[in-house]
A and B are shown apart, each in its own frame.
Chain A
Amino acid sequence: MRPADALSSAEAASDTATVTTPAAEGTQDAPWHRLDRRMLLIRPVLDLLRSLPVLASALIVGHGEPWQWIGIGFTVIAVCTGISHVLTSRYRITESQVEWHTGLLLRKQRAIPRDRIRTVDVTSEPKHRLFSLAAVRIGTGRHSHGKGPGKDELVVDAVTGAEAQRLRTLLLHRKVESTTEEAAPPETLIAEVDRRWLRYAPFTLSGLAVVGATLGAVYHFAHELHFDPVRLAPVQSIVGQFEDTPTWTIVLSGAVGLLVLVSLLSVGGYVLSFWNFRLTREPEGTLHVRRGLITTRSVSIEEERLRGIEVREPLPLRLVGGARLVAVAGGLREGKGADKGGGLLLPPAPAKRVHEVVADVLGEDPTATPLVRHPRRALYRRISRALLSVAVLAAALYWLAWIDFLPAWPWQVAVVLLPVAVLVGWDRYRNLGHALVGRYLVTRTGSLDRDTAVVRCDGMTGVVVERSLFQRRAGLITVIAPVAAGKGHYRVLDIGESDGLALADAAQPGLLTPFLER
Chain B
Amino acid sequence: MSWAPDRPIGQAEPVSEQTTASAGALRLRPPAHRVSRRAIGYWTATAAIFWLLLIGLQTLIVVTADDAPSFLPVTLVISCVFGPLHLAVMPQWRYRVHRWEVTGEAVYTQSGWLKQQWRIAPISRIQTVDVERDPFEQLFGLAKITVTTASAAGPLRISGLAHTEALRLADELTKTTQATRGDAT
Contacts and interface: CB of A to CB of B under 8 A. Distances in A.
- A and B co-occur in one complex: yes
Interface of A: 115-116, 141-143, 145, 305, 330, 370, 372-373, 375-377, 379, 434-436, 461-469, 472, 475, 480, 482-485, 487-489, 496-499, 501-502, 505, 508, 510-512, 514-518
Contact of B119 (A116, A330, A462, A488): A462
A373 B3 contact: yes
A518 B26 contact: yes
Given A372-B4, A376-B7, A497 B120 contact: no
B99 to A, nearest CB: 11
Interface stretch (B15-23, B40-48, B132-140): B15-23
Interface residues of B, number: 47
B70 interface: no
Given A373-B4, A463-B120, A516 B27 contact: yes
| Pairs of residues from A and B, 8 with the lowest C-beta to C-beta distance, nearest first | A488-B152, A482-B153, A484-B150, A482-B151, A489-B153, A462-B121, A498-B25, A461-B149
A83 to B, nearest CB: 37
A376 B9 contact: yes
B51 interface: no
SS class, residues of chain A in contact with chain B: mixed
B27 A517 contact: yes
Contacts of A141: 150, 183, 185
B69 interface: no
Interface stretch (B52-60, B77-85, B100-108, B172-180): B100-108
Contacts of B91: none
A461 B119 contact: no
A385 to B, nearest CB: 15
B3 A370 contact: yes
B151 A496 contact: no
Nearest to A380: B9
Given A372-B4, A498-B20, A515-B108, A482 B26 contact: no
B152 A145 contact: yes
B151 A489 contact: yes
A461 B2 contact: no
Contacts of B181: none
A434 B26 CA distance: 18
Contacts of B6: 373
Contact of A498 (B15, B114, B150): B15
A462 B26 CA distance: 19
Given A461-B125, A475-B15, A511-B105, A484 B149 contact: yes
Interface string B146-164: 0001111110000000000
A428 to B, nearest CB: 15
A516 B28 contact: yes
B3 A372 contact: yes
Given A466-B117, A511-B122, A375 B15 contact: yes
A140 to B, nearest CB: 9
A372 B2 contact: yes
B100 to A, nearest CB: 12
B26 A502 contact: yes
B150 A510 contact: no
A457 B33 CA distance: 29
Contacts of A145: 152
A112 to B, nearest CB: 13
Given A462-B125, A465-B118, A498-B16, 12 more contacts: A375-B15, A461-B151, A462-B120, A462-B121, A464-B119, A475-B15, A485-B185, A511-B105, A515-B31, A515-B101, A516-B26, A518-B25
